Amino acid sequence: MDYTVAPPIFRLRKAFRYLRLYGPRRTYVKVAGQYHMRRKFTPLPPNDSPPSTSSHVGLIGCGNYAYSVLAYYLKRHHGSVIRACMDVDINHAASLRESYQASYYTTDADRILGDPDIDVVFIASNHASHAEYAIKALQAGKDVHIEKPHVVSFDQLQRLCDAAARSSGRVLSLGYNRPLSPIGSLIRETLWSEPGEIMQNWFIAGHEIAEDHWYFKPEEGGRVLGNLCHWTDLTLQFMPPERRYPIRIIPARSAKSDCDIAVSFIFGDGSIGVLTFSAKGHAFEGVKERYSAHRGNVLLAMDDFQTIQIDRIAEKRRIRLRYRDHGHKASVLHSYNLSRDKAAPGLPVADIWDTGNVFLSTKDALEAGHPVTVEKLVPTSKG
């Protein structure tokens, strides 16, 4: 929904609600991001400003997420480190460059990939292009952060893993932010402290998206790859690695095939994870997430990455964060800091493969309408 054209009372209510949920700074940049997406220049602003001595980051994709999350946290915590902004819509690139004082903007990704003064690239373009840009960036000797989904096909997954394996000394990070959130980390720590099988259950109410939205283009992977991959990754991350495989994926979808989805995962140790994703109308507070889990003596109940209750036998613990925290800041800063610490390893290739293999197999199961089994595989290089 485009809030900039909504009635004034609606916009005020939305802003006040977001102040409570996210605080003043995040609310401001979320509102600014909406206007950024509508900004048009006639003529275009000047380009090629003298670079800051500290600017070395390239952004590929300058949509709302890049504006209100990637650029926001980079600028707030590390200053004017963004050197270049690229988007296929020159207005988006120019707007982000002006707001965050980058050196230049462009519609040519190769200019960023060939810039010797850029050593780390954050990718938040359309989904089908994520892996393609990342492979080129790794081959150009740059560190890379890819927003979700990192791939939209098994061919891309194989080629991305090959590129990561060959790029010695380069860091590849994926933007699955929720596992890095305070509550996400607490859930994993708590579940892993208990023995036995795990029962997990997610209910997600997603954003309403117009039928002609680019998410629904076949080459972009639809909402399964565009949205559901967040929770297939989380469900996988909350399982101890040695207990995951094989994974049996059992799908169910309605006539609105990309909007009303249920998927069950039966893990190798007998644990079960269930995802229910619904998108039926406007969610005033954004995506709504409710999670419950049971392992050993622990029961968990979490709402919207802001509140969590942990019951362990007679002990009851309830935590409420001041603001919702989905781990966006942690994800952006983690990737940036990895790129600065040349001794730190990036994400293991096996992890890049595993999360991609699970969400691509989930998409296959939903499209075929029958269960799929995922084995633990180590990707083999094509030479």
- Mean pLDDT throughout 69-92? 97
Residue with tokens 């602003």: 45
Which segments within the chain are labelled E, that is strand?
57-60, 82-86, 104-106, 120-123, 143-147, 172-175, 199-205, 247-253, 260-266, 272-278, 288-295, 298-303, 307-312, 315-320, 372-374
pLDDT number for residue 49: 78
What is the rounded CA–CA span in Å between residue 130 and residue 150? 6
What is the rounded CA–CA span in Å between residue 195 and residue 206? 33
pLDDT tens digits for range 190-232: 999 999 999 999 999 988 777 777 787 888 988 889 899 999 9
- Check: pTM over 0.75? Answer yes or no: yes
Domains of the chain with CATH codes: 39-175 (3.40.50.720), 179-326+348-374 (3.30.360.10)
Q: Could you tell me the two tokens for 100?
A: 């965050």
Residue with tokens 């509508």: 38
Identify residue 113 by its one-letter amino acid code.
L
- Going by pLDDT thresholds of 50, 70 and 90, the confidence category of residue 310 is very high
What is the rounded CA–CA span in Å between residue 134 and residue 121? 8
Q: Which residues have a Cβ under 8 Å from the Cβ of 99 and sit 6 or more positions away? A: 32, 36, 67, 71
What is the rounded CA–CA span in Å between residue 291 and residue 346? 29
Q: Please classify residue 46 by burial: count the beta carbons closer than 10 Å to its beta carbon, then call 0-12 exposed, 13-18 middle and 19+ buried.
A: exposed
Identify residue 246 by its one-letter amino acid code.
P
- Mean pLDDT throughout 152-164? 97
Q: Which residues have a Cβ under 8 Å from the Cβ of 20 and sit 6 or more positions away? A: none
53 neighbors 41 (Cβ within 8 angstroms): no
What is the rounded CA–CA span in Å between residue 245 and residue 234? 16
pLDDT number for residue 82: 97
pLDDT tens digits for range 17-51: 999 999 999 999 999 999 999 999 999 999 977 77
